[in-house]
Amino acid sequence: MTGLHEIVLRSEEMEVVILPDVGGRIHRIRAFGEDILRTPDDPGLHVSEPFLWGAYVMSPWCNRAASGATVLAGREIALAANFPDGTAIHGLVSSARWLERSSGELACAGGGDGWPWVFEVSQTASLTGATLTLEYRVWNLDDAPMPSGIGLHPWFRRPVAVRLPAEAVYWTNLDSAPYPTQVTGARDLRSLAPPADGLDDTWTQLTEPQIAFVWPESGIQATLELETDASDVLVAVASPPAIGAIAVEPQTHGPNPFRRLAVGEPDPPAMLPPGGSIRLVLRLTVRHPGGRTS
């Protein structure tokens, strides 16, 4: 598939390609000439396989939510299942068309599709040397409080070692436990190592607001710094054996978000007042131990 508009950012250390027409997603991050995301040869695969490539924005909720009709915050929502497990996954903007503004910002308007609030999501990307800065924000444009979250879902190419300094984890994103438990065994990601296959959980209680990566074949290293004005930042990790990549997803609430909100469990989505917003800033800095710049 051809014809997708691309926004390209370049420095000596990095190249970043963003597709406004397909969820404002990042098609490529290339560091020192090496792709570090799972990037398709044909950008059109972002359309036919929207959840399996690159890095895409999740909002107004992240992770999995129950499909079907329910009442939430006094309004009825009716979310269609969009994933093989029958859930409504990763919000409403990951495949939508985003519009470019003169400031360099991208924005996507939302509402409808079973979601009874009006909202907007914005993103600004800038590249300075070896650091890519991504700023995301979700705005409540409705006249009533709206449950809200925002996150990014990058697929980092394997083999890769990851260090996630989190002390607790919500087991299984499909039907998460109400409360997190202390990390043990394969779910203890506090030391730099390749994550085990088959993880699909959400980590919390970070002791540092950053995640470390090392690609052993190229020697490339990266640090992803996390910043938010939400109450907390959590990180989902998925490592399906059949995909040559690992998802490491910063987000502003826990899994099964609407259940958490309905029954008073920890880490629910925020209730944004009319005109309110949540901001998530991610700074990815890459390094090469050999001092290469291209």
Domain residues for the domain of 16 are 7-287
Whether 142 maps to a domain, the answer reads yes
Helices then strands, each counted (H, E), the chain: 2, 25
Calculate ∠ Cα 102-226-131, nearest 5°. Answer: 60
Q: For residue 294, is it within any domain?
A: no
Q: What are phi and psi of 290, to 5 degrees?
A: -85, 0
Give the tokens for residue 66.
């129950």
Question: Would you state the pLDDT for residue 290?
Answer: 79
Q: Give the CATH number, domain containing residue 182.
A: 2.70.98.10
pLDDT at 40: 95
Does 73 map to a domain? yes
Distance CA 19, CA 260 (A): 33
Q: pLDDT digit string (tens) for 99-141?
A: 999 888 999 999 998 999 999 999 999 999 999 999 999 999 9
Whole-angstrom CA distances from 226 to 15, 124, 134, 247 are: 21, 15, 10, 16
* Overall domain count for the chain: 1
Give average pLDDT by consecutive 10-residue segment, the chain, 294 residues: 85 97 98 97 94 98 95 95 95 97 93 95 98 98 98 98 98 95 98 98 98 98 98 97 97 97 97 98 94 59
In a domain, residue 1? The reply is no
Residue 293 lies in a domain: no
Specify the pLDDT at position 1: 42
Q: Return the pLDDT at 147.
A: 98
Beta strands in 20-145 (DSSP E): 25-31, 34-35, 55-58, 64-66, 68-72, 75-79, 87-89, 99-100, 106-112, 115-128, 131-140
User: What is the residue type of 127?
Assistant: L
Task: Look at residues 107, 111, 109, 110 and name the one whose alpha carbon lies nearest to residue 123.
Answer: 107
Q: Is residue 2 part of a domain?
A: no
Q: What is the pLDDT of residues 89-102, one digit of tens each?
A: 999 999 999 999 98
